[in-house]
């Protein structure tokens, strides 16, 4: 196992060890949207990964510009091992109970161990 894999595994373990700081969510990866012309209804399909541990964080005041980063935006930290095989994109969602956030922007750390997702309530 290389250093990158070791860091990825350690990051997942660290988030799990944080206990009540990490929140259990569902990660909904966008698959497709289909449009029914006769009914005028668009249907979006997602693949859901349940039980994804996420640490929610806030943006620093100097990062909030009101356009790219809005005051209500959050950062969701997700270990890549939690959603293995999925590369987040800006059509994805995170849900916690009745709360839903849309992924607005995706960042990754240099070790490819942790996704830092900018999320926003619809």
CATH code, domain with 42: 2.40.10.270
Segment (H or E) for 4: helix 3-17
Would you say residue 104 has pLDDT above 90?
A: yes
Contact 88, 29 (CB under 8 A): yes
* pLDDT the model gives residue 97: 92
The two most distant CA atoms of the chain are separated, in Å, by 54
Q: What is the pTM of this model?
A: 0.80
* pLDDT the model gives residue 22: 86
Out of 17-21, 38-42, 49-53, 110-114, which region has the weakest mean confidence (pLDDT)? 17-21
Would you say residue 14 has pLDDT above 90?
A: no
Domain count of the fold of the chain: 1
Residue % of the chain over a pLDDT of 90: 75
* pLDDT the model gives residue 15: 59
Query: Residue 25 CA to chain centroid, in angstroms?
Result: 9
* pLDDT the model gives residue 20: 58
* pLDDT the model gives residue 6: 63
Residue position matching structure tokens 């350690």? 10
Which residue range(s) make up the domain with 33? 3-120
């Amino acid at each position: 196992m290389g250093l990158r894999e070791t860091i990825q595994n350690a990051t997942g373990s660290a988030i799990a060890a944080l206990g009540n700081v990490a929140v259990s969510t569902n990660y909904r990866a966008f698959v497709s949207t289909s449009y029914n012309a006769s009914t005028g209804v668009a249907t979006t399909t997602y693949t859901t990964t349940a039980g994804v541990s996420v640490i929610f964080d806030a943006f620093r005041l100097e990062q909030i510009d009101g356009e790219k980063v809005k005051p209500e935006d959050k950062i969701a930290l997700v270990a890549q091992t939690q959603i293995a095989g999925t590369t987040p994109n800006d059509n994805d969602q995170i849900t916690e109970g009745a709360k839903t956030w849309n992924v607005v922007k995706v960042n990754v750390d240099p070790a490819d161990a942790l996704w830092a997702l900018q999320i926003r309530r619809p």
